[in-house]
Amino acid sequence: MTQLPTPDSEALRARYPLVFNRPVSARLATPVMMFGAFGIFVFGLVDLDFSPARLIPPDPGSSLPAYLVALGETLSIALLGTTIAAVFALPVSLLAAKNIVPSNIFRFPVRRLLDSIRGVDTLIWALVWINVVGLGPFAGVLAIAVSDFGAFGKLFSEAIEAADKKQVEGIRASGGNALHEIRFGLMPQVLPVIAGQVLYFIESNTRSATIIGIVGAGGIGLQLAEQIRVLEWQKVSFLILMILVAVAAIDWISGKLRFAIIGRRAVA
């Protein structure tokens, strides 16, 4: 095998001057063209009065305090609604779990009831509750509570069905009755899972609670819908920013809490 001679760089440079010493005009051509294209684009945006300029800067005007109150209302709605739903869903979910109620005849209606509650959107529940307790955040709390009741009932019963049977049998073997089995055999296994789910729902309900105001059930949605309707884009963008920040904050907090309750493994 013959070895190629090492190329002599000086000789190469001399032989191909155009490759090694490109003229300035050629080297600048691409950047200049890109810059020109971008410049025309920006000019076009400005000249055509492109709309994002109307969103910027996000400006609450003089109603910042009102918005903060509305945001607080939204967070309250999410927290309360989810808690109420969880408290009521826990006993019902026991009735929907296969390992507690083996009889299909009893389980079936409970499951279908939970399914139909879930089939109706939170906004629709909000409309119904507004008819009952009047406009305002309380209707929102009840709407979230009812629609989450359906979701929790299903999730909890699945968590209960996934629980280990051995511990329940242990309680029974030591003479515990059915309630003891649930309290000491099932609950210790299920509660961390449930707590994780409840935290996740508080987080996702912060998102849903931002919209139920659109039908008049309190919270920041009312302000948002109003500002969109009167085309106050600066206020709209400010409100959306507020929602984004609030959701991110709740995300972060509940992530930490979930980590504290169930450990890293189950966080994902």
Partner 1 sequence: MTVAVSILPEQQLAVLNEAYRRAVARKRLRLTLATAVFFAALVVASIGAEVNLRTFFTYFGNFVGYFDRIFTLENGARVWTDIGEWFWGCRKWLWMLGETILISYVGTLFGAILAFLLNFFAAENTSPAPWLRFVIRRVLEFARTVPGIVFALIFVIAFGLGPMAGVLAIAIHSTGALGKLFSEIVENADMKPVEGVRSTGASWVSCMRFAVLPQVAAGYASYALLRFEINVREASVMGFVGAGGIGQELVVAVRKFYYSDVSAILLLIVLTVFVIDIGTGWMRGRLFGKDARA
Return residues touching partner 1 (CB under 8 A): 72-73, 75-77, 79-80, 83, 115-116, 119-121, 123-124, 127-129, 131-134, 136-138, 140-142, 207-208, 210-211, 214-215, 218, 221, 224-225, 228-229, 231, 236, 240, 243-244, 247-248
Nearest distance from residue 160's CB to partner 1, in Å? 16
Buried b (16+ CB within 10 A) or exposed e, 82-118: bbbbbebbbebbbbbbeebeeeeeebeebbebbeebb
Of 147 and 168, CB closest to partner 1 = 147
Nearest distance from residue 185's CB to partner 1, in Å? 20
Asked whether 190 and 163 are in contact (CB, 8 A), the reply is yes
Nearest distance from residue 133's CB to partner 1, in Å? 5
Nearest distance from residue 31's CB to partner 1, in Å? 19
Three-state SS at 22? coil
Of 28 and 244, CB closest to partner 1 = 244
Of 28 and 241, CB closest to partner 1 = 241
Of 25 and 51, CB closest to partner 1 = 51
What are the helix and strand counts (H, E) for the chain? 13, 0
Of 171 and 217, CB closest to partner 1 = 217
Which amino acid type is present at position 216? G
Nearest distance from residue 170's CB to partner 1, in Å? 19
Q: How far apart are CA 45 and CA 41, in angstroms?
A: 6
Residue owning tokens 């020109």: 36
Comparing CA positions, the residue from 210, 216, 212 lying closest to residue 242 is: 210
